[in-house]
Structure 1
Amino acid sequence: MGHPRAAATALLCQLSLSSAIQWLGLLESARGVAWNESQHCRLLVPEQVQLCRRNVEVMPSIVRAAQHTQGICQHTFTDMRWNCSSIQSAPSFGPELLKGTREAAFVYALAAAAVAHSIARACASGELPLCSCSSIPAEVPSPGSRWGGCGDNLHYGLQLGAAFADSSWKSSKSGTRRLKAMNLHNSVMGRRVLSDSLDTKCKCHGVSGSCSVRTCWKGLPNLEEIASELKAKYLVAIKVSHRLVGPRKQLVPKDMDVRPVTETDLVYLINSPDYCTPNLLLGSVGTQDRQCKKTSVGSDSCDLLCCGRGYNTYMEEVVERCHCRYHWCCHVVCRKCRRQVERYVCK
């Protein structure tokens, strides 16, 4: 067994390596600060610096994407043993996000979708000088409808988002080939899920609230919906290897009985720890003291979340609005009531 100090040194060296998603650390570095080319572009990996300097006006959208990626990832996995907590340490990450795990696959897909989503919305809001609303759809609108409004500019978001998010992995200098292939695949898949989510949104016009005419445009859902779709793909992700298929290497299922990988699959290279107990070398913080649900039968149940260790019970006082009454016109007055609620935390 290696010396503990040597193992710790190796871990620190690993965590200091540049990562193609270290831009998620822009959340803290640039919050509430006007974007400055010389001050902030240098926070990125080298392959992203040039794009940053050429497109300084789009960087606040990327900072928002970083904020959304962090918050939504943690919210999406709040009921799982791995709850995306290490994303808070960006631009440094735990080992589970630096290697080819299923969790890294999810984060790369979500981050790629978040960048494109944020830029597409910024175009439609008039925030960016180089783009505006999406073009009028080629399809014929439904009867009683007309194209109008200002659609999210998904085309521009995908184009610039891919240039930013994928630039590091397209360089021959960073990472192993199989890790590059995995992360690029998952980034493309994240944007594919975003593209497939583009939908027609309409607003009614008419006398006294009638809907005699509808103005419609193409819009994206909130990023939370995209994250939910990606989580479903995370749960059925395919373990792959990177090997020669004909003239070039491709990602193929590790288990040959599994169907071929498609562009709509999330893929990973190595198995994850069970995340039950703390292990810094594996990127596990454990589930001790995590709140669980006694009556649940899902992943947030005390049995599964606590990994069979059992749980402790405590009482918590909560304050709620109660005895609400409507007063004409036009407000609601409520009292504040206190009650004791039973909580459960993992041993």
Structure 2
Amino acid sequence: MVSLTHCGEALRIHAKTSHVAGLRHCQRTVVSSDIIAATSRMHFAYILILLILTPRVDSSWWYIGALGARVICDNIPGLVNKQRQLCQKHPDIMQAIGEGAKEWIRECQHQFRHHRWNCSTLDRDHTVFGRAMLRSSRETAFVYAISYAGVVYALTRACSQGELKSCSCDPKKRGRSKDERGEFDWGGCSDHIDFGIKFAKDFVDAKEKRLKDARALMNLHNNRCGRMAVKRFMNLECKCHGVSGSCTLRTCWRAMSDFRKTGDFLRRKYNGAIQVTMNQDGSGFAVANQNFRKATKKDLVYFENSPDYCLMDKTAGSLGTAGRVCDKVSRGTDGCEVMCCGRGYDTTRVTRITKCECKFHWCCAVRCKECEETVDVHTCKAPKRAEWLDQT
């Protein structure tokens, strides 16, 4: 780019030979320089607008589950300082969280296996779920709740199994107590769920508490639903002592139920999730539809309606239902009519090898034959090309 100083030098050099020619040359150079500068400023402004308007898919601690035994805190993008410090201080806990992440993702996929959105994850992607979690939908509400529940469950179980340095069995469960059946002695190893909840609050909630916006408030609310769901299914388990197994004396401990119960419970909460808006002072929620009841601390909440998930839509994070297996005769969400969004389905005849005619042999084995069966598998048709292009 040529400056005005350079133009002045050009005029002085050519003054004796052609003053007018030099002036015209300089004017053209200045005009060209202004055009280039203006173009550069417009280009910079365009890039800035894109950066501001384009939603950013943040990484999450969820990615710890994909790392397995290779959890290196500095290699997990998206952690805030407090999360990174806890990660570095407690590598054994991070390992337990990673194992728990695999479990809650499997549970999420089990709960939605017959739905258009089936809790799909993206391989080798640090966002785990891609852009689907950008929308403040009821699916996002469920993922935050089930993931939080998964952390609490994994840490509590690891404590009881002696896998963590920071905790063990619940130290509060000592001495004698009583229930509706009478008195009993605390014994065994009660699950230390208070530790799991406390660490989850410190680690998982750290990012949301730092942001303090509407979405963070929604996430914190749904996180709470997740941790309380695990605590809801804590059971009192007892062992009887006495003559012939009579329960004249009992030793009892507190234990978590199978994680499937938590998944089933949160799935029901998903069905009854309440759409909300922020209240005027930004401290809580107001119900979006005045005809519905107000949201309580036990309800999942969301801001935005869900996409239909019928077509691949990169903006919405939808993978579409093309190629999904469906049930030809079902009238539910797994039926071909609903799953395929009216596009129809293809039928393929496949042969499967299954175990059959199984017999128990003393002692102690079950022997089965291998049988072939031919079945029809129905899969959703892909959308027409023009229809697909409209969504990508």
Common fold by TM > 0.5: yes
| 1:71 equivalent among 106, 121, 127 | 106
Q: Which has the larger radius of gyration?
A: 2
| 1:32 equivalent among 69, 72, 77 | 69
TM-score by length of 1: 0.86
CA distance, structure 2, for counterparts of residue 12 and residue 249 of structure 1: 26
1:77 CA drift (Å): 0.8
1:311 CA drift (Å): 1.5
| 1:312 equivalent among 338, 342, 346 | 346
Higher RCO by CA contacts (8 Å cutoff, separation 6 or greater): 1
* 1:133 alignment counterpart: 169
SS at match of 1:111: helix
* 2:41 alignment counterpart: none
| 2:96 equivalent among 53, 61, 65 | 61
1:303 CA drift (Å): 1.4
1:183 CA drift (Å): 0.6
Change (3 A) 1:317 1:10: farther
| 1:162 equivalent among 201, 206, 209 | 201
1:120 CA drift (Å): 0.8
Matches within 5 A, 1:29-178: 29=67, 31-33=68-70, 44-86=79-121, 88=123, 90-92=125-127, 93-134=129-170, 135-136=172-173, 139-141=177-179, 142-143=181-182, 145-172=184-211, 177-178=213-214
Amino acid at match of 1:76: Q
Conserved? CA contact 2:142–2:267, under 8 Å: yes
CA distance, structure 2, for counterparts of residue 148 and residue 212 of structure 1: 16
CA distance, structure 2, for counterparts of residue 222 and residue 90 of structure 1: 29
Matches within 5 A, 1:217-228: 217-228=253-264
Conserved? CA contact 2:352–2:374, under 8 Å: yes
More helix by share: 2
CA distance, structure 2, for counterparts of residue 11 and residue 334 of structure 1: 62
Conserved? CA contact 1:106–1:234, under 8 Å: yes
Amino acid at match of 1:140: K
Conserved? CA contact 1:108–1:187, under 8 Å: yes
CA RMSD of aligned residues (A): 2.7
* 1:328 alignment counterpart: 362
CA distance, structure 1, for counterparts of residue 360 and residue 147 of structure 2: 44
* 1:200 alignment counterpart: 236
- Identical aligned pairs, as a percentage? 36
CA distance, structure 2, for counterparts of residue 326 and residue 52 of structure 1: 49
Q: Unpaired segments of 5 or more residues in structure 2?
A: 1-46, 382-392
1:238 CA drift (Å): 0.7
CA distance, structure 2, for counterparts of residue 50 and residue 32 of structure 1: 18
SS at match of 2:285: strand
1:86 CA drift (Å): 3.4
Conserved? CA contact 1:116–1:162, under 8 Å: no
Q: Deviations over 1:92-120 (max 9, x none)?
A: 24222123111111111111111111111
Query: Is the deviation greater in 327-336 or in 73-82?
Result: 327-336
CA distance, structure 2, for counterparts of residue 297 and residue 332 of structure 1: 37
Amino acid at match of 2:197: L
Q: Deviations over 1:239-263 (max 9, x none)?
A: 1111225xx5311111122111100
Amino acid at match of 1:232: R
CA distance, structure 2, for counterparts of residue 41 and residue 132 of structure 1: 28
